[in-house]
Amino acid sequence: MKIISVIGTKDTGKTTLVTRLVEKLSQKGYSVGTMKFSHVHFDLADKDTGKHRQAGAKIVVGTGKETFILFDNPLDVESIITTIESYDELDFLVMEGFKSSKFAKISVSSLKDDYTIQQVDVKSLNDEKMDELVEIIEKRSYGLLQDLNCKKCGFESCADFSMDKVQGVAPEVHCKSQFKGALLEVNGKRIPLNPFVQNIIAKTVTGMINSLDKDSEDIDTIKILVRDRD
């Protein structure tokens, strides 16, 4: 899953650009998710779920035609991305905000850092320019990097890889150690796994499950949670 972050100062068109990117990427056949950073509460205090939270619920869930889970504390970005990746196979995650993150960024204002691949004026982005922007994002964005530094992409380190990606030097090179076969978290922290280790874990656990359940040939996903209560 590649990640692009839209950054900018207040009221400069971040949400407008995020929605346009979601539309464009979806039209190209990509499966897209979004994530927004906010200093204010997401839930409205006068709604039922807001009342649940005010009463002291640590986790509030709303479900019906759609489902949301509201935690009463912020989670770190890596944990949220891990949860998203464990839930669905998205091609792109478009983030609004997160200006200090180390993902490829589009800036809609004067904000800029080493990860900013383009600065744009949202009002002047016509359809043609949006198409060009999406092409740049396809080539220069990348997924969650965890300093595994496995060198399988040909770079000495993940930092070197990300710098060349955002600068457009390595448009066709991709991180080889993204989540494909197995994802491991210990104490809420994702453990970086190279493709070889992912393969071993995936095959070992699948073999174990198959030996428990003879009818489980169509396994798509296995989730195991181990909690040490001692």
Residues that bind ligand SF4 (CB under 6 A): 145, 148-153, 155, 158, 161, 175-177
In sequence order, what are the residues at sequence separation of 6 or more whose Cβ sits closer than 8 angstroms to the Cβ of residue 40? none
| Tokens, residue 169 | 């030097």
- Of the pair 36, 151, the CB lying nearest ligand SF4 is at 151
- Of the pair 15, 146, the CB lying nearest ligand SF4 is at 146
CB of 204 to ligand SF4, least distance (A): 22
| Tokens, residue 73 | 């504390």
- Of the pair 32, 175, the CB lying nearest ligand SF4 is at 175
How many other CB atoms are found less than 10 A from the CB of residue 102?
A: 20
CB of 158 to ligand SF4, least distance (A): 3
Distance CA 203, CA 206 (A): 5
CB of 152 to ligand SF4, least distance (A): 4
- Of the pair 108, 150, the CB lying nearest ligand SF4 is at 150
How many other CB atoms are found less than 10 A from the CB of residue 192?
A: 15
CB of 155 to ligand SF4, least distance (A): 5
Q: Helices 127-140 and 14-27, interaxial angle, to 10°?
A: 80
